[in-house]
Structure 1
Amino acid sequence: MADLIISQRRRFSILFSLAIFFSLFPYMRLVPLAIDTQPTALVFSALAFLFQPHHKLPAAIYLLLVLFACAAFLMLFSGVDFSSIRSLLGYLTILFTAYIFYLSARDDLDRFQSLLNFAIVVWLSVGLIQTLFARDFLTWTISDWRTTDQRGVTSLAPEPTFYGTQALFFMIMQIIVRPRLWQITACAVSIVAFAASSQILLVIVIALCIVFPTLLTSRSGRKAAFVLLLVMAAGAALAVDLLEGSRLVSLATLLLEDPTALVLVDQSGNDRFASIFVSLMSAYQNALLPHGLSGSVFQSKFVEMKILFPELLWFAPPTTTIMSGIGRMFFEIGAAAFLFVFLMLYLFRRSTIELRWRCFVFAAFGGVLFTAIPLNHPLVGGILGLLIWRANRQQASSASSMVLTPRIATTS
C-alpha cells in the first residue's frame, strides 16, 4: 500500500512539473499543430489534476469551474464547431492551470521559483541571441514565426507581442511570489530591448500611472516615485536612441502627436482595437445576454459593427477570432463574465501583496486581459492560481492565529 502511494505521488510530481514547464513555454510544440498556443500545458495539467491524490479545491477555484460550466452549457445550444471547441478549451485551461499553479505555490514554492528562474533566463537568452546574431534562432520550435525588421525579436514566441506578453506574465508572477530585482529587470529588458512591444509597453505605462499615487503616501514611497520618474525618462531616451526607426518608436511618436491616430491611422492598432470594441459593444447591445461560443456569430456581429461604425473600424477585417480575453468572456457567456470580475476584485482585496505591487499586478494583468490574449494561454490561469494562493495564505494565517490565541490565553 505504501509503495502504491509513493508511486502515485511520484507520477503526480512528474506530471506536475511538466504542466508547469509547458505553461512557461506555451508555444513550444511537441506535435506539428498549426496553432500558436499549444495544448501541451492543458494536457499535462488535466493529467496532474486526475492523478492528484486529494482534491481539496479552494473556494475561488469553484468560480472558475462555474465559468467553464456556463461555457460548456452554452456550447450545446450555440453549435459545435472548431471555434467553439477552442473557446471551451480556453475556459478549461484556466480552470486546470489555476489549480496546478495554486498547488505549486502552496506545496513546493522553491521548485516553482526554480522553474520560473529557468524560464526567465532561457527566454531572455534566446531573445539576446536573436537580437545580436540570428533572428530565426530556435524558431523551428514554434508553429508559426512572424516578425519584420522594424519589429522586435520573438524569442520562443510566434511574434514580438507574444514575447512581450510572456515576459510581462513572468514579471507579474515573480512579484506575486516575491519581488526580486534581477528577475524583474530581466523581464523589463526582454520587453523593451528585445520584444520592443508597443502594446505591452502601453499596458505597463498605464499600470505604472495607477501605481504612482500609492507611492506618495510615505517618505520612502516619494523617493521611489522620484527614482521611477528618472528611470522612465532615461529609459525613454535610451529607447529612442537605440530603437530609432523601429515600429515602437514610430508608434510612440504617433501617439504623442495624436493619441487617436493609434486607432484611426495605424492598421495594427485598429485591428486590435476592433476586437475589444466589437465584443464589448455587442455584449452591451445584447443586454449582456450570451452569444455563445461559435466564431461565426462574432464574425456576423463584426460585419454589422463595421457598417454602424465605419470610421472606427476602417481597417480591421471581420474575423471569427475574438482578440481580447475580457471581450471574449462578455461576448460568449454574457453577464456570467462578472463572476470573473468578482473573482479579480476578491483576490485584490484578500491579497497579502504590498499595496504598490498589488496595484501594478492587477492593473497590468487586467490590461493584458483586454488585449489579444487567448484564454487558452496557460499563464492566464497560472497567475490566477498564484493570486488564489496568496489570498488563501492570508486566510490560513488568520485561522492559525484564531486557534492559537485561546491556547496562549489558557497557558498564561
Structure 2
Amino acid sequence: MLLIACMFPWSSPAPTASDTQPIALVLAAVYSILYVRSTSRYLWPMVIMLFGGFATLLYSPNMEGIRGITGYISILFIPLALIHYFKTYGIPSRKFYLCILFIWGAIAIIQFWDPSIIKFLSPRTREFSLTGGRGVTSFAPEPTFYGLWLLIIATAYTVQHNTIKIKLSRPDYAVYTLIAFQLLFLSRSTLVILLVAAVVLAYLLLFRPFLLLAGTGMTTILLSDFFLSAFGTNSEIAIEKFRIFYILSAASSVEFSDILSIDGSVSDRVVQILNSHIQSFNNHLMPNGYGTWRESAENLPEFLAGTYHSIDSLNRVLSLSGSVLYEVGIFSIPFIFFMIYLMTKSLPGMGNRSLLLKIFFTSVFLIQAIPLALPTISFFISAMLCSIAIKKHIITTIPIHKNTNTPPPINN
C-alpha cells in the first residue's frame, strides 16, 4: 500500500483540500512503528532540515507553517520506511512500473474526452488542461506535475535497475517508451520537455557532437512554418497545437530580453526559480519562514521586473531547492548537497564527462517545481540510497519482487 501511495501522490479515497495527499506519510509512520528498528545513517541531512523547519515554525508560528512542516516530516519518514521495505521485500519489478505507467496513461487518454473522470480520487485535477495546446493531467493536478512525476519515475527506474547490473532489455524499452509517449503526447509539459531536451543536448555535446549538428538541423525543420502547416490544424494532437512548438517558434522570433513574456506559465515558473534563490542568498541564507513568499516574491530584481503573469503563482515557491533555501535557509544546505551526492553516485556513467552530465541533470532537476511533501520524491531518494548501499556493499543483496524473472544483484 505504501508503494501504491507513492505512485499516486495526488489521489486518495478520502482526499483532503491540499494537492499532495497525506496517505503515504500516514502509511510510512504506521510501517515504521511496526517494523523499523534502526535508522539509516544517510538520513541525517533530512534530520537537520526537519530541525530547521521546526525551529522556523516555533520562531514564527502560523497556519502556513503547520502545513509546510509536513514536507520536512515526509522527506525523512517516508524514506525511512521505504529503505526498510526495499531491504526486506525487494525493489519494485519492471512489471510494477509498467502497470503503474499503464494506469496513468490510460486515465490520461480518457481525459481527452472526459477530463473529470477521476475527480472523486483527485479533486484538485484541473479540467482546463486541453486549452492552448496543453496536455492532460491524469492523476496529477496539472500537466507540469504529470511531466515531473514521469521524470522522477524514469530516473528512479534507471537508478534501481542500473544497480542490479542488467543490460537494457525489451521490458526496459517498454518502460521508457511509455514514459516518453506520455510526456510528449499526453502531459505535453513544456518545462519538463525542455529539461529533457537540455540534458539530451548536453549529452550530445559531450559524447556525440556530430549527432548534435544533425539534431540542430532537424529542430530547425520541425520549427519551420512549412513543416507546421503541413500537418493541418483539425486534430487536437496536431503537431502545431503542441504548446512546446508554439513557445519555441515564438522564442525564435523575439529579442532575448523578451523571451520570458512569451508564455505566462513558463515565465512564472522560471522567474520563481531565479527569484527564490536570489532572495535566499540576499538574506544570507537565513530562514525566511512560512507564508511570507508572496510578499518577498513581488520584490523582484530589476532584470526580472514586470515578468509575472499570474499573482496566483505566488502562493508557494515553485522550486524544490528554492523552497527549502527560502523557508529554512542554511538548514537545507546539507540536504541539497546530499541530493547532488546521491544523484551523481547512483545514476549510470563513469568518467569526467559523465560526471559533468550528471551534475548538469541534477542541477536542473533540483530547481524544478517538485513539492517537498511529494511521496514520489521520497521514493526516488530511497531508490538512490539503496543503490549506493549495494555499490558500497553495505547491503549485500536486495531481491526483486517475485512477479518478475529478473535475478538478484550480483555481489562482487
Superposition TM-score tier, normalisation by shorter sequence? 0.7 to 0.9
Q: Equivalent residues in 2 for 1:78-227 (5 A)?
A: 78-81=60-63, 83-111=64-92, 113-131=94-112, 133-146=113-126, 147-149=129-131, 150-178=133-161, 180-216=172-208
1:293-332 per-position Cα deviation (integer Å, ceiling 9, x unaligned): x21x2222123337x5663534342734111111111111
Secondary structure at the counterpart of residue 35 of structure 1: coil
Amino-acid identity (%): 20
Change (3 A) 1:54 1:344: same
Change (3 A) 1:158 1:197: same
The residue number in structure 2 matching 1:315 is: 309
Indicate which of 282, 285, 296 corresponds to 1:285.
Answer: 282
Q: How many pairs are equivalent?
A: 371
Indicate which of 332, 339, 342 corresponds to 2:334.
Answer: 339
Runs of at least 5 residues in structure 1 that lack an aligned partner in the other structure? 1-17, 217-221, 401-412
The runs of at least 4 aligned residues of structure 1 exceeding 6 Å deviation read 356-362, 397-400
User: Cα distance, 1:237 vs. partner?
Assistant: 7.6
Give distance in 2, aligned partners of 1:61 and 1:187: 29
Instruction: Report the RMSD for the aligned CA atoms in angstroms.
Output: 3.3
Secondary structure at the counterpart of residue 313 of structure 1: coil
User: Cα distance, 1:398 vs. partner?
Assistant: 10
The residue number in structure 1 matching 2:380 is: 383
User: Cα distance, 1:164 vs. partner?
Assistant: 1.2
The residue number in structure 1 matching 2:393 is: 396
Give distance in 2, aligned partners of 1:273 and 1:352: 26
The aligned amino acid for 1:141 is L
Q: Is the 8 A contact 1:100 1:382 kept in 2?
A: no
Give distance in 1, aligned partners of 2:119 and 2:332: 36
Q: Is the 8 A contact 2:390 2:396 kept in 1?
A: no
TM normalised by structure 2 equals: 0.79
Q: Is the 8 A contact 2:10 2:140 kept in 1?
A: yes
The aligned amino acid for 2:203 is V
Q: Is the 8 A contact 1:270 1:316 kept in 2?
A: no
User: Cα distance, 1:75 vs. partner?
Assistant: 1.0
Runs of at least 5 residues in structure 2 that lack an aligned partner in the other structure? 162-167, 232-237, 398-412
The residue number in structure 2 matching 1:22 is: 5
Give distance in 2, aligned partners of 1:264 and 1:101: 42
The aligned amino acid for 1:43 is V
The aligned amino acid for 2:248 is A
Secondary structure at the counterpart of residue 315 of structure 1: coil
Indicate which of 41, 46, 61 corresponds to 2:43.
Answer: 61
